[in-house]
Amino acid sequence: MVDIVRRRLLQGTALAGGFAATRSLFPAPAIAQIPKGTGEVVVYDGGGSWGEAKRIAYFEPFERETGIKVIAQPRTDTGAVRASVLAGAPRYDVTILPGGKAPTFERDNLLAPIDYGYFNRSDLDAFSPIKVGKFTVPAIVYSLFIAYDSSKFSTSNAPNSWADLWDVQKFAGRRSLMAGTWASDGGTFEAALLADGVEPSKLYPLDWDRAFKSLARLKPNIVKWWNTGAEAPQLIIDKLITASSAWNGRVSAANEQGAKIGYTWNQGMLQYDCWVVLKGAKNVDNAFKFLAFSARAENQAKFVQHILYAPPNSRAFEFVPPERAKLLPTSPEARKLQFVQNYEFWNESGAGGRANNEIAVAQWERWLSGAR
């Protein structure tokens, strides 16, 4: 699945944003009502503006329609989720995994196959370019890009590439990147290679040595490695750094609240997250109902109104105002400046039978401890 997705994204197949123009051609189809239910469903809420968007667009309307109570759970880490499934007591029924990490969960037999019975055919077919999988329903498409302090750099003279971010002479100030312990999530290794002059099309397989050499050049100017989405914009707001990698939704959420953070789509890295149902979940049936509900174009469009993460259901763009769609990382203008992260590479087994995701962490630890 990942392979197809990547190829399609790389080929630039008509991307989601393009559908906005075709809105009038598709009258809203009659939506099959999800049967009423009882009990509850425990869903990962993601917190902050992201959790808020989910609550408004998905949780509350779902409760009203089905009578099933949504219990939103605060974030936890993938390892803890893994432990909970292994222990036979999954902490969520439904959770979200980064696209780079989901295949490992699939491989390790931690997910429940999704029953698409409650989904509308029209919604299922409209998932594009990332299709639904046996265990995964795409949740959001987003970008890891370069963000900077716009009070320091004017738009005309701001960092516009990873090489610029590395150039502390031209763009004075200190920097941050996501900690390499997050491997594929943070895009730090890709950024290092791009900064060193590697072409986006020739990035994979990643050259670890070259990436660490490049990172070593920037390290003296790194204030700290960020670990959470909120941290990168916060470091800029606090004037601790002048530029960093960051996720687009967090940056625009901060800007909508009055922060002044500039960004560029250029050399941005497209990523996506998936909904999954954990193996052994107590409320599987409710979980499938919830996923069917969140897959509806209208609901995804509502979600976009609250946070700038792109909907994987391309039909959602029929309900998103064009001026809002323009701001999404999947808009044609933004899309052509970015590249798609290769999840396939990150999940391939490298030396010692471990996935590249794990190798990256081991190498990162060695590098930080000075042993590399």
Lookup result for tokens 């950024």: 191
Q: For residue 254, state whether it binds other proteins (rule: CB under 8 A).
A: yes
Q: Which of 329, 322, 316, 180 is nearest to 249 (CA)?
A: 329
Report strand pairing: 69-73 vs 40-44.
Answer: parallel
Query: CA-CA-CA-CA torsion for 187, 188, 194, 197, nearest 10 degrees?
Result: -160
Omega of the bond prior to 205 within 30 degrees of 0, cis? yes
Q: Which of 16, 9, 1 is nearest to 312 (CA)?
A: 16
3-class DSSP state of 123: helix
Q: For residue 142, state whether it binds other proteins (rule: CB under 8 A).
A: no
Specify the residue, 214 or 313, whose C-beta has the smaller distance to other proteins.
Answer: 214
Size of the site for other proteins (CB under 8 A): 55
Q: For residue 258, state whether it binds other proteins (rule: CB under 8 A).
A: yes
Q: For residue 150, state whether it binds other proteins (rule: CB under 8 A).
A: no
Site string for other proteins, 17-46 (x = CB under 8 A): -----------------------x-x---x
Question: Could you tell me which residues are beta bridge partners of residue 175?
Answer: 222, 243
Q: For residue 358, state whether it binds other proteins (rule: CB under 8 A).
A: yes
Q: Tell me which residues in 196-235 interact with other proteins (CB under 8 A).
A: 219, 222-225, 227-231, 234
Shortest distance, CB of residue 281 to other proteins, whole angstroms?
A: 13
Specify the residue, 44 or 119, whose C-beta has the smaller distance to other proteins.
Answer: 44
Q: How distant is the alpha carbon of residue 103 from its chain centre?
A: 15
Query: CA-CA-CA-CA torsion for 70, 76, 77, 81, nearest 10 degrees?
Result: -50
Lookup result for tokens 């429940």: 112
Shortest distance, CB of residue 125 to other proteins, whole angstroms?
A: 33
Shortest distance, CB of residue 184 to other proteins, whole angstroms?
A: 12
Residues that bind other proteins (CB under 8 A): 40, 42, 46-51, 71, 73-80, 82-84, 86-89, 91, 181-182, 219, 222-225, 227-231, 234, 237-240, 254, 257-259, 358, 361, 365-366, 368-372
